[in-house]
Amino acid sequence: MSHNPADADDGGFQQPPSEQAYLSASDADRRAAIEIINRGHAEGRLTEPERQDRVTRAQVARTRPELNVLTSDLVVIQDAHHADEMELRASGSLTPTSYGSNGIIAVLSTKQRDGHWVVPPRLSISSVLGTVKLDMREASFESLDVTLEISCFMGELKVWLPEGVQVVDETRDIMSDVKLKKLSPARPGRPRLTLTGLLLMGDVTVYGSDHVSLADRIKGNF
């Protein structure tokens, strides 16, 4: 009986290989795999030729098992680096907050999400003479492609991002401002945040990981 090496390495996928074989890889899956490969190279677990070969294969991979073959020998090792965090998650201490609605409405009010919460792939923001604050620095992302659909009338949206997140501004602005402050360089495998929607006499400010607030400057925390 012939033996297929790929059959022996299922990489801990949740579903049986027979079902996994039909799961197509998304762009987000490919980016996540490339991040793992690059991290493995940075830690000295892959040579440069090995990294280049795996990245090339990941870029053209069509299914999740194909990606798993390229990362399965790196994931367990890298997960061990976060053993303390994983233990806290298992105990429930770091369970992220999942909101029942993917929409936030602030009318003459302030709405805020911060701490360890789950960022959905699409989040609708409506601000009418109000303020919405989204702190994603400790958040968990369901997808590497996140879209904020913004409807802002004389309102304000503030977003704080972790390191390496790419921001794409596709909003329509009428007497409005979109400010991107101290964004760090985009990194492969990190989320991409797309801003869409209409701003009418409103303001959107996105703070990158390199931004230092006025309060921190006063306290000398930088």
Say what the pTM is.
Answer: 0.56
* pLDDT bracket for residue 23 (50, 70, 90): low
Any domain includes 2: no
Do residues 142 and 47 share a domain? no
Q: Considering the domain boundaries, does residue 115 fall inside one?
A: yes
**Which of 36, 63, 87 marks a domain boundary?**
87
Would 201 be classed as within a structural domain? yes
28 located within any domain: yes
Convert the pLDDT of each residue in 51-80 to its tens digit.
999 999 989 988 878 888 888 887 644 344
CB 194 within 8 A of CB 214: no
Range of the domain at 33: 10-87
Is the CB of residue 123 less than 8 Å from the CB of residue 102? yes
**What pLDDT digit, counting tens, does each position of 201-212 carry?**
999 999 998 776
Total domains present in the chain: 2
Claim to verify: residue 107 and residue 195 sit in the same structural domain: yes
Contact 195, 148 (CB under 8 A): yes
- Indicate if 139 and 165 belong to the same structural domain: yes
Instruction: Examine residue 31 and state whether it is found in any structural domain, yes or no.
Output: yes
- Assign 214 to helix, strand or coil: helix
**Has residue 39 got a pLDDT over 90?**
no
Please provide the DSSP assignment of 128-153 as one string: ES-EEEEE-TT-EES-SEEEEEEEEE
Q: Is residue 127 part of a domain?
A: yes
Each residue's pLDDT tens digit, 130-140 = 999 999 998 88
Q: Are residues 80 and 130 in the same domain?
A: no
